[in-house]
Structure 1
Amino acid sequence: MAKNERFEKVYSQGAMNITEIWVDRETGVNYVFHCTGNAGGLTPLLDREGKPVISPVVNR
């Protein structure tokens, strides 16, 4: 992985129905990606209060 890539995959499950969590390295915002067959979607990961989940940003 190149050092200048903005997004990092931190979680993945499934083979036909894929669910992944990606972290934006600049903002720390977590995103959920889900795909089944030819359809997929990406949305911010929210906590139970409806606020985006934000991971600490580590300078690399």
Structure 2
Amino acid sequence: MENKDRFEKVYTQGKLNVTEILVDKETGVNYLFHISGYGAGLTPLLDREGKPVITPRLN
């Protein structure tokens, strides 16, 4: 069976309070994920102009 994970973890920091950056392999959009205790949040990572950070996809 082929592995078709859509998201790739490109950065991680911390053990109890974890911050990660995930890249959507289909769109290239970067997401910031943070978890602390029982709470967690996910949001698109934005540049200075408020536009989503997009990583170029490699074919």
Q: Same fold (TM over 0.5)?
A: yes
Alpha carbon RMSD of aligned pairs, Å? 1.0
Q: Aligned residue pairs: how many?
A: 58
Deviation (angstroms), 1:58: 1.5
- The alignment status of 1:58 with 2:52, answered yes or no, reads no
- Structure 1, unmatched stretches of 5+, are none
> What's 1:17 paired with?
17
SS in 2 for 1:28: coil
TM-score normalized by structure 1? 0.91
- Structure 2, unmatched stretches of 5+, are none
Cα offsets for 1:17-48 (capped at 9, x unmatched): 10000000000000000010110000000001
> What's 2:49 paired with?
49
* Shift >2 Å, 4+ stretches: none
TM-score normalized by structure 2? 0.93
SS in 1 for 2:23: strand
> What's 2:32 paired with?
32
**Partners of 2:46 and 2:10 in 1: how far apart?**
16
Deviation (angstroms), 1:3: 3.2
